[in-house]
Structure 1
């Protein structure tokens, strides 16, 4: 797989991220490294948001809070579009936080 494909796959769940990380380890370029960082940040954001929403819905009994749970899906689609267009553009809302994190990626 080429780096563009691996960049796209990295946004598709944690398993996709792991596949992209392992396969692209030897031949990664700046595009793949950038999207690996962004997608890992998105995965972490999704987990934290899920925990917060579950606690809030349990405490407040407001089921409409579940709509906020679609934010990671929308961000994932934006990330896939950026990766498909060979653009190193941060994800809205959370992208800037993860640009300089995860030094183990490269």
Structure 2
């Protein structure tokens, strides 16, 4: 896989992240571009899990707000799309909302 392809695949669910990570580990060229997008994607995955747990708890407490919480739960999907667009443009820009928080946190 090329570096660009690995960066894009990293954003496609957890399985895509694992495939991109294993391809990155196996490659001889440890590209900082791929490493950056792997860490951004991992941040989105962790954010998605935390948001899902919090949303489930809050929907249990406030069932009348369920529609709002389901709309908010689309946020990780939108962040993944933005990450795919950034990776396909071969840029290293942080993802909105959480990109700065995870930048440099994961040693891949």
- Counterpart in the other structure of 1:43: 45
RMSD between aligned alpha carbons?
0.7
When normalised by structure 1's length, the TM-score is 0.95
Aligned pairs for 1:1-106 within 5 A = 1-25=1-25, 26=27, 27-61=29-63, 62-64=65-67, 65-103=69-107, 105=108
Q: Distance in 2 between matches of 1:52 and 1:23?
A: 33
Structure 2 unaligned regions, length at least 5? none
Divergent runs of 4+, >2 A? none
Q: Distance in 2 between matches of 1:85 and 1:53?
A: 33
Aligned length: 104
When normalised by structure 2's length, the TM-score is 0.93
How big is the shift at 1:24?
A: 1.3
Structure 1 unaligned regions, length at least 5? none
